[in-house]
Chains A and B, each alone.
Chain A
Amino acid sequence: AQSVTQLGSHVSVSEGALVLLRCNYSSSVPPYLFWYVQYPNQGLQLLLKYTTGATLVKGINGFEAEFKKSETSFHLTKPSAHMSDAAEYFCAVSEDNDMRFGAGTRLTVKP
């Protein structure tokens, strides 16, 4: 069975700084990987997904993630944080018709 680990329940960056949110997974086969964002008291919105092919995936709002099979990682990055990026971010992995979500990372952006 697959699992997802998000390193760091809280990440704080300054406006304009690099955003790096970490996600590691365990899976017996190449998984499908997703990042979702959740703003307060709202549902989740898909940021990006990896299925097959190119390992660097670009998503909405300037975010991207790189699938590294050797490291079993799918970290989310954004070169320059904006105040509007403050939210909770969830990594998810899908394998054998079963999707699992990480515990989430809350991103705070300081002015």
Chain B
Amino acid sequence: DGGITQSPKYLFRKEGQNVTLSCEQNLNHDAMYWYRQDPGQGLRLIYYSQIVNDFQKGDIAEGYSVSREKKESFPLTVTSAQKNPTAFYLCASSIGHGSYEQYFGPGTRLTVT
């Protein structure tokens, strides 16, 4: 079955620690995305990647970092510089960047205390 996997489903960290969220897709999609979801605010774009070894900042990139060393993988690191990291994080992919529908993973709920 083709799709996007995110792991883990729930993640707990202490303040001051970096944490990496996993996102893998087997859809052979070129573009991948990371969104943050907070209640009542919809989805906000953190980073996106149009192709391997390339990525661009979204609207709220501060305190986050990404890499795209393989087509199928796009991990997100939430650094200690992110002031309010507790949120639901969604990874998505699409055939190409732009006007194509995006396919979403199940999400990772990160809680930082």
Binding site for B on A (CB under 8 A): 9, 32, 34, 36, 41-46, 49, 51, 90, 94-99, 101-104
Residue from B97, B104, B105 within 8 A of A97 (CB atoms): B97
Contact partners of B43 in chain A: CB under 8 A: 44, 90, 101
* Distance (whole angstroms) from the CB of B12 to the closest CB of chain A: 15
What residues on B are CB-neighbors of A103 within 8 Å?
A: 40-42
Q: Which residues of A contact B113 (CB under 8 A)?
A: none
Q: Given A43-B104, A44-B104, does the pair A94, B98 have CB atoms closer than 8 Å?
A: yes
Instruction: Answer whether A46 and B109 are a contact pair too, CB < 8 Å, given A101-B42, A103-B41.
Output: no
Majority-rule SS of B interface residues: loop
Closest A residue to B98 by beta carbon equals A97
Give B54-113 interface residues, CB cut-off 8 Å to A: 88, 90, 92, 97-107, 109
Q: Are A41 and B107 in contact (CB under 8 A)?
A: yes
Closest Cβ of chain A: how far from B15's Cβ, in Å? 24
In the assembled complex, the Cα of A67 lies from the Cα of B43 at a distance in Å of: 22
Return chain A residues, CB-CB under 8 Å to B109: 41
Complex-state Cα separation, A32 to B96, whole angstroms: 14
- Which residue in chain B gives the minimum CB-CB distance to A102? B42
* Closest Cβ neighbor of B31 among chain A residues: A97
Partner of A90, one of B42, B88, B98: B42
User: CB distance A43 to B107 under 8 Å?
Assistant: yes
Q: A90-B43, A101-B42 are in contact. Are A44 and B101 (CB under 8 A)?
A: no
Checking A9, A96, A99 against B102 with a beta-carbon cut-off of 8 angstroms, the contacting residue is A99
Least CB separation from B50: chain A residue: A97
Q: Once the chains are docked, how many angstroms separate the CA of A97 from the CA of B96?
A: 9
A-B contact pairs, 29 of them (CB 8 A): A32-B99, A41-B106, A41-B107, A41-B109, A42-B106, A42-B107, A43-B4, A43-B90, A43-B92, A43-B105, A43-B106, A43-B107, A44-B92, A44-B102, A44-B104, A46-B101, A51-B99, A90-B43, A94-B98, A94-B99, A94-B100, A96-B98, A97-B98, A98-B98, A99-B98, A99-B99, A101-B42, A101-B43, A103-B41
